[in-house]
Amino acid sequence: MTTTERPDTLRRILDHSSRADPYPLYAELRRTPVALQEDGSYVISTYRELTGILHDPRLSSDVRNLARPMAAVEGRATPSFINLDPPEHDRLRRLAMRHFGPPHTPGLVSGMEPGLTATVSGLIDGFADEQRIDIVDEFAYPFPVTVICRLLGVPREDEPRFHVWVNAIIESIDYDPRTDPQEKLDNGVQATKDLREYLGGLLEVRHGHPGDDLLTRLANDDGPDGRMTDEEIISTANLLLIAGHETTVNLIANGMLTLLRHPEVLRRLRAEPGLVVPLVEELLRYEPPVQIIPWRAAYSDITVGDTVIPKGSQIMLMLASGSRDPDRFEDPDRFAPDRQDNQHLGFGSGVHLCFGGPLARLETQIALTGLVRRLERPGLVADPPPYRPSPVLRGPLHLHVEQG
């Protein structure tokens, strides 16, 4: 394995014009599994190297371990556990997991099924007789947002305010060369402050008036790991809100798009509802909402193949590329819902493996089942649809479908 600079391939992947189909560029990138960039960062794109890195304790998720701090996250408040390393990471994750359920208590998520089905039915009823539906605005966005707000105990009517804050935060960590990075950073820092203040206000109320929600439970926990501080609760709630907003939306929209492009699979799903389980796994491999983990920091010099990555380097993990690696998956560019041995990287791997995976899976299974039942002869209005700016959290901005 050799390390050569491939700045151009990465630049093209990050460019908005590649958003509809970045996969041929990932194939190009995989020719150099560990690629040094002009700015000194390393890009990892093959399955074997990615899984090795994701399980390597010498890799840090804490941006403070980067030799060259990242402007986009400087000045942020207390990091949430996605950006911390063991042992702090493990303590906070355990404290949150106790109440959230999966994977240790899967009953909590399966217990949510009737509520999720009712929410999906309500949204689908809202389509009424409209000829043209935007699957993103009318369905894929409001569904997971309603679910995560309900879980945390955030009043649904406050959601439009979040929408603005969450968008500003996501944009500030994004790569969009068309916008001013300093302005995005300022907006992101302000939005983080506003969102934290808002969550702090909700928490204050929960201390006095407990409700049946995650914020209340986190505030009153007295388990073996003690209690989270208010700052830690706010960071955790912040993380769950952002994760609950920006990922499942894209999985549902990418899923519907993929089904419309594969009408034979759509017909099969109608006839064979159980197919939805492996189908959602295949979507997480084939069109994953989290395409890239933008950074890990090397705690010490690390050798990957014959490349030495120096301590403090920024390492970018191309998860979506790993899940299309032909050395790991047979015929990787084929959407195959019956695929066996589908250990995709859609939820990451290792200590930071997605905490919301069981919920995201269930939400997407119920959402796609509801949509294919309701839309009898759906037709795509534009292919490819317009995409959101982010190369990291990738998905359609709108997905207009005509009802036949």
Instruction: Choose which of 240, 266, 302, 399 interacts with ligand HEM (CB under 6 A).
Output: 240
The answer to whether 112 contacts ligand HEM (rule: CB under 6 A) is no
Instruction: Choose which of 188, 244, 322, 378 interacts with ligand HEM (CB under 6 A).
Output: 244
Indicate the pairing of strand 314-317 with strand 42-44: parallel
Nearer to ligand HEM (CB atom), residue 307 or residue 364: 364
Q: Within positions 117 to 156, which residues make up the interface with ligand HEM, using CB under 6 A? A: 148
Sequence length of the chain is: 404
Q: State the nearest-atom distance from the C-beta of 106 to ligand HEM, in Å.
A: 14
Nearer to ligand HEM (CB atom), residue 25 or residue 84: 84
Residue in 244, 284, 250 with CA at minimum distance from that of residue 163: 244
Contacts of 179 (CB under 8 A, 6+ apart): 171, 389
Choose one: 3-11, 62-70, 201-209, 237-245; the region binding ligand HEM (CB under 6 A): 237-245
Q: Within positions 68 to 97, which residues make up the interface with ligand HEM, using CB under 6 A? A: 81-82, 93
Nearer to ligand HEM (CB atom), residue 32 or residue 323: 323
The answer to whether 248 contacts ligand HEM (rule: CB under 6 A) is yes
Binding residues for ligand HEM, total number by CB under 6 A: 25
- At residue 397, φ and ψ (nearest 5 deg) are -75, -40
Q: State the nearest-atom distance from the C-beta of 110 to ligand HEM, in Å.
A: 15
User: Which structure tokens are listed for 18?
Assistant: 């590649």
Indicate the pairing of strand 42-44 with strand 302-304: unpaired
Q: How many CB atoms lie within 10 A of CB 336?
A: 18
- At residue 349, φ and ψ (nearest 5 deg) are -170, 160
What angle separates helix 276-286 from helix 263-271, to the nearest 10 degrees?
A: 150
First and final CA of the chain: distance in angstroms?
A: 52
Q: Within positions 174 to 213, which residues make up the interface with ligand HEM, using CB under 6 A? A: none
Choose one: 128-136, 308-316, 350-358, 380-388; the region binding ligand HEM (CB under 6 A): 350-358
The answer to whether 60 contacts ligand HEM (rule: CB under 6 A) is no
The answer to whether 293 contacts ligand HEM (rule: CB under 6 A) is yes
- The CB-side HSE value for 165 (13 A sphere, CA atoms) comes to 20
Residue in 61, 36, 33 with CA at minimum distance from that of residue 322: 33
The answer to whether 391 contacts ligand HEM (rule: CB under 6 A) is no
Q: Which residues bind ligand HEM (CB under 6 A)?
A: 61, 81-82, 93, 148, 239-240, 243-244, 247-248, 251, 288-290, 293, 346-348, 352, 354-356, 359-360
